[in-house]
Structure 1
Amino acid sequence: MIMTQEELAQYHRDGYVLVNNLFDREEIDLMIREIEGGERVAGSTYSNDDRSGLKAKLAIWFELGPDMWSAVSTCPRLVNNVSSLLGEDAAFFHGKVMLKEARSGGAWEWHQDYGYWYDQGFIYPNMISVFIALDAATKENGCLQVLRGSHLLGRLEHGKVGGQTGADVNRIRHLQSMFELVHCEMAPGSALFFHSNLLHSSAPNLSDYHRRTFVSCYNATGNPQLQSQGLKHYDRCPVGSDDWLTKF
C-alpha cells in the first residue's frame, strides 16, 4: 500500500492523514499480547502527570532489534509510506507504547512532537509519527485530538504544563478559535500519519475501556541531529516484510 496523490495532498494541507485497517485483527491481537506479557513495554514504562494529577503512561525505546515492535516499525506499510510523505528516505527514530488505561489514564497536554525534538537537536521538523490504534479510540476514552493545519504555524515554544512539556496554554486557547478541532476516532488497526509540528492532545480516559496505542516515529535521513560531539546523521530505516506476523 502506497499513499495516493490525494492522501499526500491531504497530509501537506492538514498535517495528517488517517489510513483505516492498516493492520488486521490478528496483528493487533499480537501487539496487545506483547503489551500485556512482553518485556520491552514492562521494562521501559514510566508516567507523566497531567494537570489533574492523573498518570499518562508511556514506554519508549530508540533502537531496532529482533523483537516484534521492530518488525512492525520496519514493515513496508509504515516505512514506504513515511518516505513518501517525507519526500526522502526515512530513518527510524523511536518506538513507544502509550497506555491510557480504563478509568485512570491521564491526558496529554497540547504539544507538537517537534516541540520536544527541537530541544533534542534535530535541525529540521521533517519528522513523522505513525499512531496505530490497538483499542478503539473514541471521545469517551480519550482519543487523539488535532488542530487541522496547525503544522503550518511552525515550531511553538514549549514549557512545563503540569508534569508534562506542552505548548503555551494561553496561545493554544487562541489557536483553537483559528483551527478546526478534529477528534481522531479510530478503529483498532487504523493508523494516523502526522507531521511533527501538528498540534495534538488527548483527554483523560475516564471510561471503562482501555485506549492503548503503538507509535513509531521517523526522521528524514537528510535531517541531522546536533549533539555535543557534532552532527549525527541517521541511516535509512531497513525495510522488512509485510508478512512480519509469521515470525512471531
Structure 2
Amino acid sequence: MSALEARPRPAVLSAEQVAAYHRDGYLLVERLIGPELLGRLHERVAAFLERSRSVAASDSVFDLAPGHGAESPRLRRLKTPDEQDPLFWEVASGILADVAADLIGAEEGGGVTFHHSKLNFKWSEANPQANAVRWHQDIQFYPHTNYSPMTIGLYLQDVGPTDGPLTVLPGSHDGPLYDQYDAEGNWTGCLSDADAAGLDESKAVMLTGPAGSITVHNCRTVHSSPPATTAHGRPLLLNAYAAADAFPYTVNPSVSRHDRELLRGRPARWARHDPRPCLIPPDWSGGYSSIFAAQSGEEKGTGKAKAAGKPAMM
C-alpha cells in the first residue's frame, strides 16, 4: 500500500481534494471560511492599515509599498500576523491547520508544524505592474529536509482575474527546482528570464474565488501572480506549514514565536530526508523584508551567496 493510500480519511477536505493536491501540487477550495470570521478578519486588517499611516519606513511589522503615506496608506505586507493579533493565530492554528493535516496525512505521526505567516496586499493606483509577483518557488527561501512544506492562502475579499490571483503551473512540484539568484550572485527570489521563458504558460491555472476561499500550493510548485488593476488592495493571508519530520536547515526568513510549533499529530523522532537537493538562500539572520523587495531589485547587492563559508548577511 502506498503512503498516499494509507492516509487517514480527511477531516476537512475530501479524499478527491487530497489526491488532487498531491497530483497537481495545488488546490483551490471555495468559501471554506464563513462571513462571521471574515468580518472579524476585515476589522483587524482595517486596524493595521490605519496603524500603518503613522509609519514612514518599512520595519519589523510593516513592509511598505512605494508611495505609502499617511493620506494614502499602501501597506505591502503585514509581517508575522500570527504574533501581531490573536485572531490571525486563531485562524492559522485552527481550520487552516486542519487543512494542512489532511494534506500531510499519515507521514511520521501525522504531525504538522507551523512555519510562518504573512498578510500581503496589492495596490494598483500608482503602478499596477509593480505589484506583480514573478514566477518562483518557495522552498529555496527556506530549505527543509523534505518537500512537505505548503502554503495556504486565504482570500479575504473576492478575487477575480483583475485582482492579481495566485497562478500556478500544475504538476511543476514534480519538476526541477530553479536557481533564484541572478548572474552576479544577487538573490532575486524568482526564475531568471531564460528559465521563465521555458515554462509552458499555456498550462497555467489562475486561482480565482470568492471571499473565504483558500488556495494551497506545495513548496516546489512554480507560481506567480499577475498585477492587480482594481483598487481594493486584495488582502491575502498566507500561512505556511510542514510535516513534523521536515526540519529546516537555514534561517527562517519570517520567524515568529510560533516557529516550529506542533499544531497537529505527534512530534517526529526521525527526520525524513528527500534525496533531491535544494538551492540555499542568503543568510536571512540579518533581516528580510519581502519577496516584493527582492523581485523589484530594492535590495540588490544585499543578498549575495558566497562560494564558500558563511553567506553574506542581509
- Calculate the TM-score normalised by the size of structure 1: 0.79
Matched residues in 1 for 2:120 and 2:182: separation?
20
Q: CA deviation at 1:25?
A: 1.6
Relative to structure 1, the CA distance from residue 138 to residue 130 in structure 2 (aligned partners, 3 Å threshold; closer, same or farther) is same
Q: Does the CA contact (< 8 Å) of 2:81 and 2:88 recur in 1?
A: no
Other-structure match for 1:246? none
Q: Equivalent residue for 1:24?
A: 34
Pairwise CA distance, 1:112: 0.8
Equivalent residues of 1:130, 1:217 under 8 A apart: yes
- Once the two structures are TM-superposed, the CA of residue 67 in structure 1 deviates from its matched residue by 0.9
In 1, are the aligned partners of 2:62 and 2:75 still within 8 Å (CA)? no
Write out aligned runs for 1:1-248 (5 A): 1-38=11-48, 42=52, 44-47=61-64, 57-61=76-80, 64=83, 67-75=86-94, 77-87=95-105, 88-104=110-126, 106-118=131-143, 122-159=144-181, 164-176=188-200, 180-226=203-249, 234-237=260-263
* Counterpart Cα distance in 2 of 1:95 and 1:213: 11
Q: Which has the larger radius of gyration?
A: 2
* Aligned residues: CA RMSD: 3.0
- Native 8 Å contact 1:112 1:200 kept in 2: yes
For 1:245, the equivalent position in structure 2 comes to: none
SS of structure 1 residue aligned to 2:32: coil
TM-score between both structures, scaled by the size of structure 2: 0.64
CA shift for structure 1 position 160: 5.3
1:124-176 Cα shifts (integer Å, max 9, x gaps): 22101111001111111211111111111142221259995112221122122
Task: State the alpha-carbon separation in 2 of the partners of residues 73 and 6 from structure 1.
Answer: 23
Q: Which runs of 5+ in 1 are unaligned?
A: 50-54, 240-248
Change (3 A) 1:38 1:238: farther
- Answer yes or no: is the 8 Å Cα contact 2:142–2:248 preserved in 1: no
Q: Residues 18 and 227 (structure 1 numbering): CA distance in 2 closer, same or farther, change over 3 Å?
A: closer
Work out the CA distance in 1 between the residues paired with 2:147 and 2:192. 19
Quote how far apart the aligned CAs of 1:80 are. 2.0
> Structure 2: where are the runs of 5+ without partners?
1-10, 53-59, 67-73, 252-258, 266-314
Q: Is the 2:82–2:88 Cα contact (8 Å) retained in structure 1?
A: no
- In 2: Cα distance, 1:181 partner to 1:108 partner: 14
Secondary structure of the 1:237 match is strand
Q: Deviations over 1:22-74 (max 9, x none)?
A: 111221122122111049x846121578xxxxx99222228658711000001
Amino acid at match of 2:168: V
Match of 1:21, SS state, is coil
Any runs of at least 4 consecutive aligned residues in structure 1 with deviations exceeding 4 A, and if so which? Answer: 62-66, 160-164
Indicate how the Cα distance of structure 1 residues 160 and 143 shifts in structure 2: closer, same or farther if over 3 A, else same. farther
Indicate conservation of the 8 Å contact 1:86/1:127, yes or no. Answer: no
Give the structure with the larger strand fraction.
1
Give the percent of matched residue pairs that are identical in Structure 1 and Structure 2: 20
Change (3 A) 1:227 1:156: closer
Q: Which has the higher contact order (CA 8 A, sep 6+)?
A: 1
